[in-house]
Amino acid sequence: METLTPRDDRQVLEAVAWAAASERPLEVRAGASKLGLGRPVDGDHTLDVSGLNALGLYEPEELVVSAQPGIGLATLERELAAAGQMLAFEPPDLGPLYGGAPGGATLGGVIACNLSGPRRVKDGAARDHLLGIAAVSGRGEAFKSGGRVVKNVTGYDLSKLMAGSFGTLAVFTELTVRALPRPEDTATVAVSGLGDAEALAALAAVLATPYEVAGAAHLPAAVADRIAPAALAPAGLPVTLVRLEGFAPSVAYRAERLVALLAARPGGGTVVRLDAAASRVLWLAIRDVSPFALSPGGDVPAGPPVWKLSIAADRAAAAVARIAQAVPVEAIYDWGGALVWLRLGDGGALPAGVADDAGARMVRGALGGAGHATLVRASAMVRAAVPVFPVQPGPLADLTLRVKQNFDTRRILNPGRMYADA
């Protein structure tokens, strides 16, 4: 087991071509902040691209920036902030979820995992902001796709295929993403005391307004107690959050309208407006799933299992309620309920029938076709034994395998990271 640390595109190409020729599987990593996301890779060698960490061409007036995959998100976001811009897909830093230090996430990593933050409801996912890539396929071929402009339908959008492919098809050597203006102001409107179903209905109502909601989350009491400021909700009460961003007078106007809308809904408690500074801290915690973070170096390396549900928002609360009948859970609802982070158990041992598969059968069974579930945190042993990603029906699984075989014929890039046979 060796670690290859290429410094430039050519060395990435050489490393992958060598691995393909000699059939040595590579575990691909950049910041290594979320190695626990996905199945364990049976890698012969490690390909560490953190040395490819340069900022490329950044043209603020074109709303576009290129960078190498290993560039730290913090570094990149600092560069963009200096020009009054940001990555609008609000990439999370999931390192602490796995007991790591914050600040380890890279651009290549968040794109490879297609991770998007709370602003997803308004501005789209990571894949929507990726305009172009340069990469080396598992066959050891350097190629590019897309470009530096938003409107581009020249050929297949391979950039999107690579976003969210967890390094199983190609290794990025450069990424080009959109850079958008940072909002002048931000505020959060919060209502306390709503049950999960009522809260998601309130968020659906809010998202149906023309007020350009840039975050719609619900924190059940146990989670709210940990991260919501005391001013928002008395201890022991859930809190439902709506974020607004934009030009200051517009934020003020929309906040006023939403306060009125939420106050008029039955069943809700106090409606509070949170200022920009407090709002930023709170949404950062939601973005990074901080309530489920592990303390660094804790004695239970994997901690309690964490699931990520991607689900039709109007059926999320019922699905979580079904899961909660089988095992105590803590939930964080984001994207108006279309994204649910679920932590199973209350710290003690999981009940029999759930412990052996981190609740996989039970959780997936509870979704009833409304969505799908990814096991984002569990011990390596469990992740090797249990399907981490949703199990695909036959024809789709076959198609997935054919895509893998066409780009990574000898199965040397992160083999097994997504599926045992791909």
CA angle 208, 209, 211 (to 5 degrees): 130
Closest distance to other proteins from the beta carbon of 342 (Å): 15
Which of 106, 47, 70 has the alpha carbon at shortest distance from 414? 47
In the complex, least distance from residue 41 CB atom to other proteins, rounded to whole angstroms = 17
Closest distance to other proteins from the beta carbon of 231 (Å): 26
Tell me whether residue 11 or residue 75 sits nearer to other proteins (CB atom). Answer: 11
CB of 352 to other proteins, least distance (A): 28
User: Residue 100 Cβ, how far from other proteins at the closest point, in Å?
Assistant: 21
Least Cβ distance, residue 389 to other proteins (angstroms): 6
According to DSSP, the residues that pair with 341 across neighbouring strands are 308, 332
Name which of 106 and 159 has its Cβ closer to other proteins.
Answer: 159
Least separation in angstroms between residue 116's CB and other proteins is 8
Residues 6+ apart with CB under 8 A from 74: 103
Q: Among residues 131 and 233, whose Cβ is nearest to other proteins?
A: 131
**Lookup result for tokens 């979820």:** 97
Nearer to other proteins, 226 or 402 (CB): 402
Residue 169: Cβ-neighbour burial (10 angstroms; 0-12, 13-18, 19+): buried
How many CB atoms sit inside 10 A of residue 374's CB?
16
Closest to other proteins by CB, 18 or 229: 18
- Alpha-carbon distance 230 to 300, whole Å? 30
Residue with smaller CB distance to other proteins, 355 or 410: 410
Comparing CB distances to other proteins, the nearer of 14 and 79 is 14
Q: In what order do the strands lie in the sheet with 64-67?
A: 55-59, 64-67, 170-178, 130-137, 142-146
Q: Answer whether 179's CB lies under 8 Å from 84's CB.
A: no
C-alpha to C-alpha distance for 155 and 367, rounded to whole angstroms:
36
* 114 dihedral zone (left: phi>0; alpha: psi -120 to 50; beta): left
Q: Is 18 helix (H, G, I), strand (E, B) or coil?
A: helix
Exposure string for 75-94, b = 16+ CB within 10 A, e = fewer? bbbebbeeeebbbbbbbbbb
Which DSSP helix (H) or strand (E) runs through 276?
helix 276-287
Nearest-approach distance from CB 153 to other proteins, in angstroms: 5
Distance CA 70, CA 114 (A): 15
Closer Cβ to other proteins, 120 or 343, answer by number: 120
Kindly state the greatest CA–CA separation across the chain: 67
Nearer to other proteins, 63 or 321 (CB): 63
What's the min distance (Å) between Cβ of 226 and other proteins?
Answer: 25
